[in-house]
Amino acid sequence: MKTTLRRDMLVTGVALALLLAWDATGWDLAAARLFGDATGFAARDTFLASHLLHDGGRIAAWLLLGALVVATLRTPQGAVTGPTRTERWRWIAVMLLAIVAVPAIKRFSLTSCPWDLAVFGGAAQHVSHWRFGVADGGGGHCFPSGHAVAAFGFFGQYFLWRGHDAVKARLWLAAVLVVGLLFGTAQLARGAHYPSHTLWSAWLCWAICVAAAQWAPRSRRPA
C-alpha cells in the first residue's frame, strides 16, 4: 500500500512539475497559431473535429458510463473474482466527481478560448490563466477543458482494476490517455482550448483519483 501511494504521489508530482513548466514556456499561443490565423480556425466547424470528436465524443462518454453502471448492476454481490459491486460503485462516484469538478472550476475562470483572441479574429487579448481576477476581454469560462473530462474522467477505471487485473488496468490507462489527447488535439485545432487546458483537466482528474484511492478501503482480495 505504501509503495503504491509513493508511486501515485511521484507520478502526480512529476506531472504537476511538467505542467507548470509548460505554463512557464508560454507555448500555448504558439500551439494555437499552428491551427489558426487572423481569419479564425479552419477546423472549428468541421465534421471530424466538431461533430465526431467533440459532440460524438461527449455522447460516447455518457454511453460508456452507462455501460459501466449496467455492468455494476449485473455484478453479483458475492462475486469471487474482479472488483466487488461496492468497489465499482465507488469508482463510478469518483468519475462523476471528476466530471462535475472540472467544469465547476471552468465556470469561475476568466480565461477565454483561443478563438476569442484578437489575433484569431476575436476581441480578447491573451492573458495567462494564472492571472487570477484579470479578464482578457473575451467570454471567459474556458479553463480548464471540460470536454477533455469525457476521456480523463475514466482514469478511475485504472484505479479500480489495478488491484485485480494489471493488464486490464493498463489498457484502461492507455486508452484514456490516447482518447484524451485526441480530444484535446481536436479542441486545439478548433480553437476551443489551448494544450494547457487539456493537460490541466488530465491532472485534475488524476489527482482526484489518487486522493480517492488513498481514502478507499483496501480490498481484501488477493491482487
Q: Are 159 and 223 in contact (CB under 8 A)?
A: no
pLDDT of residue 221: 47
pLDDT of residue 1: 63
pLDDT of residue 195: 98
Q: Which residues contact 197 (CB under 8 A, 6 or more apart)?
A: 142, 143, 144, 145, 148, 184, 187
pLDDT of residue 80: 64
Q: Are 159 and 91 in contact (CB under 8 A)?
A: yes
For the chain (length 223 residues), average pLDDT per consecutive 10?
Answer: 87 97 95 97 97 97 97 83 92 96 95 97 94 93 96 98 96 98 98 98 98 74 44
pTM: 0.93
pLDDT of residue 77: 78
pLDDT of residue 223: 43
DSSP, res 165: -
pLDDT of residue 215: 82
DSSP, res 124: B
> Which H, E and C letters describe 12-79, residue by residue?
HHHHHHHHHHHHHHCHHHHHHHCCEECCEECCCCCHHHHHHHHHHHHHHHHHHHHHHHHHHHHCCCCC
193: left (phi over 0), alpha (psi -120 to 50) or beta: beta
pLDDT of residue 34: 97
Domain ranges of the chain: 41-75+83-109+144-215
